[in-house]
Structure 1
Amino acid sequence: MEKLVYTVVDLIEILGISKNKAYSFVKEAYLSKDKFRVIKIDGSYRIPKASFEKWLNEGN
């Protein structure tokens, strides 16, 4: 089954950034709500794949 959400670890691999940078980036997106959608579940971040890929493909 295809993943519907990414984790921070997935973004580390996709973007080629460090763990600290990835968590800062996702937390910023979660708080600002102007990049891509981020869901927080029991302290863990989940990023809907469609929302992230749309943001990424728009060249942001």
Structure 2
Amino acid sequence: MESKIEDLPDILEVDDIRSYLGISKTAAYNLVKSGEFHVVKVGRIFRIPKKSFQTWLQGND
């Protein structure tokens, strides 16, 4: 079953991105740390607004 972006929560975790893109945990953390989209770091935890991730995924600035 293919997941849809609409099914993801409004605030993503690294594992949500890993699962959605079908990439490794290391690759997901590297992507989150790359600065390609807005990330909020709370302590040691990364949170990513779905809208920011979706904009990046669609190639929009």
Same fold (TM over 0.5): yes
Structure 2's unaligned 5+ residue stretches are 1-7
Q: TM-score, normalised by structure 2?
A: 0.77
Match of 1:32 in 2: none
Residues 1:14 and 2:20 are matched in the alignment: yes
Distance 2:47 2:31 in 1: 13
Instruction: Give the counterpart letter for 1:5 in structure 2.
Output: I
What is the aligned-residue identity percentage?
Answer: 42
* SS across alignment from 2:34: helix
Runs of 4+ in structure 1 deviating by more than 6 angstroms, as ranges, are none
* SS across alignment from 1:51: helix
Structure 1's unaligned 5+ residue stretches are 30-34
Match of 1:58 in 2: 59
Instruction: Indicate the structure with greater helix content.
Output: 1
Match of 1:24 in 2: 30
Distance 1:57 1:25 in 2: 15
* SS across alignment from 1:36: coil
Distance 2:11 2:30 in 1: 18
Report how far residue 3 of structure 1 moved. Answer: 2.2
